[in-house]
Amino acid sequence: MELRTLRDDVYRRPLATALDRLGIGPGWTCVDVGAGGGDVSVALAEIVGHEGRVYAVDSDPLARDEVAQAAGSHSQVLGITQAGEDLRLPEEVDLAFCRFLLLHVADPSRVLNRMASAVRQGGWVVVQEPVTSAGRIAGDPFAMPIAKHPDVGALLPSLVRAAGLEIIDAWAEAPAGAGPGPVADYIEFLTEVDPGDDPVILPPLVTVVAQRPQS
Ligand SMILES: C[S@@+](CC[C@H](N)C(=O)[O-])C[C@H]1O[C@@H](n2cnc3c(N)ncnc32)[C@H](O)[C@@H]1O
């Protein structure tokens, strides 16, 4: 099973809750920064419909092909190869979104500032990032040595405020399980080790739902 499918499965609930919170609907314009394989971009495209638009931005040029494949007939998804630090779109958007991105970038504040500038006044910024070390396998903390800021989720509310955004809602949510199921499958995919019957608490995903103030 592909990682993006598993991730969509285990972390789908915080995504659905966040999108419900916005009242997003047909015709919205969105950007998904660090879109990767395009799971979130496609979920957004299904909501905004063909009258809307979803810019799927990723610094890795290979992501564009993956997104195009995932998007299929959703021609409202437009793949762009661009770093979040240099985010520039042809129009202001209603929603700027990122998930599992800021832990990998050198300067999360810089990317958040660009996202804040990309939305219209009164528009939305939604950020979902993990607190990796708060996850547990058999009681032991998770580690992610390849990430630059594995615990960036723990700083998210203050980073979002510092970007000049007004926080509307914020929370943390962690999928958990023991024995066979999507959580064990996800761990096995990430680590190539089956956790067996050990209890697993995946890294909590901190969600911040924020708005660009009207000036
Ligand atoms: C862990 S994946 C997350 C994919 C997707 N957001 C999700 O939640 O399934 C991180 C993605 O961020 C991209 N990325 C890393 N640094 C970036 C940057 N500075 N600007 C834009 N994209 C970046 C990577 O290429 C990768 O596709």
| Rounded Cα–Cα distance for residues 103 and 148 (Å) | 6
Residue 165 within any structural domain of the chain: yes
Show the CA angle centred on residue 175, arms to residues 171 and 180, nearest 5°. Answer: 175
Ligand 1: residue of 10, 13, 104 to mutate (most ligand atoms within 8 A of CB) is: 104
Tokens read off for 175: 């999928």
Report the separation in Å between the CA atom of 197 and the middle of ligand 1, taken as the mean of its atom positions. 31
Greatest C-alpha distance within the chain: 54
Residue 143 within any structural domain of the chain: no
CATH of the domain at 24: 3.40.50.150
Nearest CA to ligand 1 atom 14: 34
| Rounded Cα–Cα distance for residues 106 and 11 (Å) | 24
Give tens-digit pLDDT for 105-138: 999 999 999 999 999 999 999 999 999 999 999 9
Residue 140 within any structural domain of the chain: no
* Residue numbers of the domain that contains 83: 3-128+149-173+205-210
Residue 167 within any structural domain of the chain: yes
Q: How many domains does the chain have?
A: 1
Residues with CB under 6 A from ligand 1: 4, 7, 33-36, 39-40, 58-60, 63, 83-85, 99-101, 104-105
Percent of the chain topping pLDDT 70 = 96
Determine contact, residues 94/25, Cβ cutoff 8 Å.
no
Report the separation in Å between the CA atom of 35 and the middle of ligand 1, taken as the mean of its atom positions. 6
Q: Return the pLDDT at 215.
A: 80
Going by pLDDT thresholds of 50, 70 and 90, the confidence category of residue 1 is: very low
Tokens read off for 208: 């911040």
Average the pLDDT over 41-70 and give the result.
96
Give tens-digit pLDDT for 154-191: 999 999 999 999 999 999 999 999 999 999 999 998 88
**Which residues, other chains included, contact 108 with Cβ-Cβ below 8 Å and sequence gap of 6+?**
102, 149, 152, 155, 159
Residue 90 within any structural domain of the chain: yes
